[in-house]
């Protein structure tokens, strides 16, 4: 019986994953474990090849039902295939995700506690980047490696060479994307697998596309500052394709598409980290709590070093 390595034995139900699965299900799951994230075209190609091996009939129109069957079998082991459109290309993607996404340590397995702490630091800097840039420069990312601390407030600094290797590993493992200008941003794997963690941790700081309602870190936003509209590039292209004079889907003002979320591939991110103000920080200011520390709109490296 062919089954995916590392997923067979469950402490209470050892046959939980394999029960009810055909060899086609098992082989596809094994392929997904090794890839984690595939374009839908690639996933269909894998499915087709597996059907050829198992001598099952390949029917592209049945692929969605096939994914649904897999998810039903994986539900009790906190795994799920999630589908979305790539933020950059708009291409449909399929990702095998850990549904217990509120705990990074359980999702990003294979990393040491110190490496996970570094990952969380980078994640925070990306999500809270000023002006919805949703990225961090390589210089700022390496600087963060020297400021890690454990729960006892003891230093956990990672040497520069090790940090460089770890950043490469985060990219290779498809958690981050590195732009041509050296800026790190969230990959589709992070957006799909960590969506629960991101929404619970950052609340309204995590933006959603007004049309598809998925998390958005690359796209366009309304030029009216008070308007909440945010659109992926591919969503905007589809929505405005028959409009000679595009208008915002929320406030109906003109939408020239000039104000961007995220940075273009060849645009450099700021060398210092600048963070947006959190909602609870604003509330604290209004109540007069901790006025000296919580009234800051920017949080850059020089400020953090001073503290």
Question: What are the sequence ranges of the domains in the chain?
Answer: 23-77, 105-194+266-306
Q: How far apart are the C-alpha atoms of 162 and 142, rounded to whole Å?
A: 10
Q: How far apart are the C-alpha atoms of 258 and 240, rounded to whole Å?
A: 14
> In whole angstroms, how far apart are CA 242 and each of 235, 236, 237, 238, 300?
13, 11, 9, 8, 43
Q: How far apart are the C-alpha atoms of 64 and 122, rounded to whole Å?
A: 35
Q: How far apart are the C-alpha atoms of 261 and 217, rounded to whole Å?
A: 6
In this structure, how many other beta carbons lie within 10 angstroms of the beta carbon of residue 121? Answer: 18
Contact in structure between 176 and 187 (CB atoms under 8 Å): yes
pLDDT at 138: 95
- pLDDT tens by residue, 128-150: 999 999 999 999 999 999 888 87
Binning pLDDT at 50, 70 and 90, where does residue 294 land? very low
Report domain 105-194+266-306's class. mainly alpha
> How do 260-261 and 219-221 pair as beta strands?
antiparallel
> How do 176-178 and 37-39 pair as beta strands?
unpaired
The residue that leads in pLDDT, 155 or 24, is 24
Q: What is the DSSP string of the chain?
A: ----TTSS--SS-TTTTTTT--HHHHHHHHHHHHHSEEEHHHHHHHHHHHHHHHTPPP-GGGHHHHHHHHHHHHGGGTEEEEEEE-TTT--EEEEEEES-TT-HHHHSTT--HHHHHHHHHHHHHHHTBGGG---EEHHHHHHHTTS-B-TT--B-PPPHHHHHHHHHHHHHTTSEEE-TTSEEEE-HHHHHHSHHHHHHHHGGGS-B-TTT-SB-SSEEE-SSTT---EE-HHHHHHHHTT-SS-B-TTT--B--S-SEES--TTSPPPSS--BPPPHHHHHHHHTTTTHHHHT-S---HHHHHH-
pLDDT(2) > 80:
no
- Written as six digits, the tokens of 250 are 């929320």
Q: What is the pTM of this model?
A: 0.79
- pLDDT tens by residue, 6-24: 333 333 333 445 557 899 9
pLDDT at 110: 84
Q: How far apart are the C-alpha atoms of 296 and 307, rounded to whole Å?
A: 13
In this structure, how many other beta carbons lie within 10 angstroms of the beta carbon of residue 205? Answer: 16
Percentage of the chain surpassing pLDDT 90? 65
Binning pLDDT at 50, 70 and 90, where does residue 278 land? low
Which residue has tokens 């474990």?
33
- pLDDT tens by residue, 245-254: 999 999 999 9
């Amino acid at each position: 019986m062919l089954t995916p390595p590392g997923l067979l034995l469950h402490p209470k139900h050892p046959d939980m994953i394999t029960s009810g699965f055909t060899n086609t299900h098992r082989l596809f799951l094994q392929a997904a474990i090794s890839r984690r994230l595939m374009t839908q075209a690639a996933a269909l190609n894998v499915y087709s090849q597996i059907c050829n091996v198992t001598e099952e009939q390949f029917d592209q129109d049945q692929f969605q039902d096939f994914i649904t069957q897999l998810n039903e079998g994986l539900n009790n082991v906190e795994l799920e295939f999630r589908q979305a459109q790539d933020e950059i290309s708009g291409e449909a993607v399929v990702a095998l995700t850990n549904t217990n996404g509120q705990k990074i340590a359980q999702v990003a397995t294979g990393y040491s506690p110190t490496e996970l702490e570094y990952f969380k630091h980078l994640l925070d800097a990306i999500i809270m980047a000023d002006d919805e840039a949703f990225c961090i420069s390589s210089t700022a990312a390496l600087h963060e490696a020297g400021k890690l601390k454990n729960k006892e407030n003891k230093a956990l600094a990672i040497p520069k060479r090790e940090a460089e290797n770890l950043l490469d590993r985060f990219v290779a493992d498809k958690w981050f994307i590195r732009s041509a200008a050296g800026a790190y941003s969230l990959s589709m794997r992070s957006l799909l697998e960590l969506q629960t963690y991101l929404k619970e941790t950052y609340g309204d700081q995590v933006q959603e596309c007004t049309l598809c309602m998925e998390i958005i870190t690359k796209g366009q936003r309304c030029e009216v500052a008070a308007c909440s509209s945010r659109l992926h590039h591919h969503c905007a292209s589809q929505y405005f394709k028959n409009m000679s004079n595009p208008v915002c889907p929320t406030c109906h003002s003109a939408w020239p598409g000039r104000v961007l979320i995220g940075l273009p591939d060849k645009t450099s991110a700021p060398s210092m980290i600048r963070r947006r103000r959190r909602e609870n920080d604003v509330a604290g200011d209004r109540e007069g709590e901790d006025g000296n520390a919580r009234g800051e709109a920017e949080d850059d490296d020089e400020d953090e070093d001073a503290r």
